[in-house]
Amino acid sequence: MPNDNSGRRRFLGRVLATSGSLLLAGCDRLSQTEWFPNVLSSAEKLTQAAQKLIVPRNAMAQEFSPADISPEFRSNGTSNPSNPVYQALAANGFKDYQLRISGLVEHPAVYSLAELKALPSRSQITRHDCVEGWSAIGKWQGVQLSQLLQRAQPLASARYAVFYCFDPMDAQGTTYYYESIDLDEAYHPQTLLAYALNDAPLPVKNGAPIRLRVERQLGYKMAKYVMEIKLVDSFSDIAGGKGGYWEDRGYEWFAGI
């Protein structure tokens, strides 16, 4: 039964009725074996609701040791945005890059790369899972998104953070990559705006100068080449209205692993 989620549903039904450690062991197994069908399922709301009940809001994604780091962290999707604005920024070592924080916040702001790097940073070694069927372990360093949100002060009406990227997804330059996460995910301690991979400046192929890390979700959520973060109460008016470039093309918005 490809794409059928009933096994997972039954499983979640069972675990919801039982207790802590057993649950987490089960979830780990689930994420190893059933994450791919889950991505293709239509039970997104049940899955997210169930996940929020089972797993504490701040549950951490697994972190690994330096010995686990993959020799090569491959690139997927865009590997070098054709956008001339991006090309000019890259040619100058991103000295003129500015990250904009906008939308439903008390204090809209703009940060240079140097300003982002001057903020307290976090490093984490995590596994990235792409729906195309590959995984890689890498060490990410960046500023926690929560730090920027604490400074910006989201208004009470803000529900999602939308990440706008530099890379056009069509030849005409009318569609750009974008993604969104809810505020629980945005404030999670492992949610980073990363500027370094494996102790080196983030390469262009992996999203320079800034890419999102959302470690409890799948690879397509982790927007590369981020140019603006906008706080919104809904994404129904943005592009295809589903909260992300791939979501507009049928992927689940909540891509929990």
Ligand X SMILES: Nc1nc2c(c(=O)[nH]1)N[C@H]1C(S)=C(S)[C@@H](COP(=O)(O)O)O[C@H]1N2
Q: Contact positions toward ligand X, by CB under 6 A? A: 74-78, 130, 165, 167, 177, 206-207, 219-220, 222-225
The least CB distance from residue 16 to ligand X, in Å, is: 30
Q: Which residue is nearest to ligand X (CB)?
A: 77
Q: Which does 125 bind (CB under 5 to 8 A by kind): ligand X, Mo ion, none?
A: none
Nearer to Mo ion, 31 or 112 (CB): 31
The entry of Mo ion, ligand X, none near residue 48 (CB within 5 to 8 angstroms by kind) is: none
122-130 and 134-144 as β-strands: parallel, antiparallel, unpaired? antiparallel
Give the total residue count for the chain: 257
DSSP 8-state secondary structure symbol assigned to residue 127? E
Name which of 104 and 223 has its Cβ closer to ligand X.
Answer: 223
89 binds, among ligand X, Mo ion, none (CB under 5 to 8 A by kind): none
Identity of the residue, 154 or 215, whose beta carbon is nearer to ligand X in the bound complex? 215
177 binds, among Mo ion, ligand X, none (CB under 5 to 8 A by kind): ligand X
Tokens of 26: 């089960």
Alpha helical stretches, state H, 78-139: 84-91, 113-118
Which residue, 15 or 246, is less far from ligand X as judged by CB? Answer: 246
Phi, psi of 166 (to 5 degrees): -80, -20
Torsion on CA atoms 171, 172, 174, 179, rounded to nearest 10 = 10
CB 180, CB 159: distance < 8 Å: no
Q: 22 or 85: whose CB is closer to ligand X?
A: 85
Contact in structure between 237 and 103 (CB atoms under 8 Å)? no
By CB under 5 A, name the binding residues for Mo ion. Answer: 76, 130, 219-220
Residue 103 binding: pick among Mo ion, ligand X, none (C-beta 5-8 Å cut-off by kind): none
User: 133, 180 in Cβ contact below 8 A?
Assistant: no
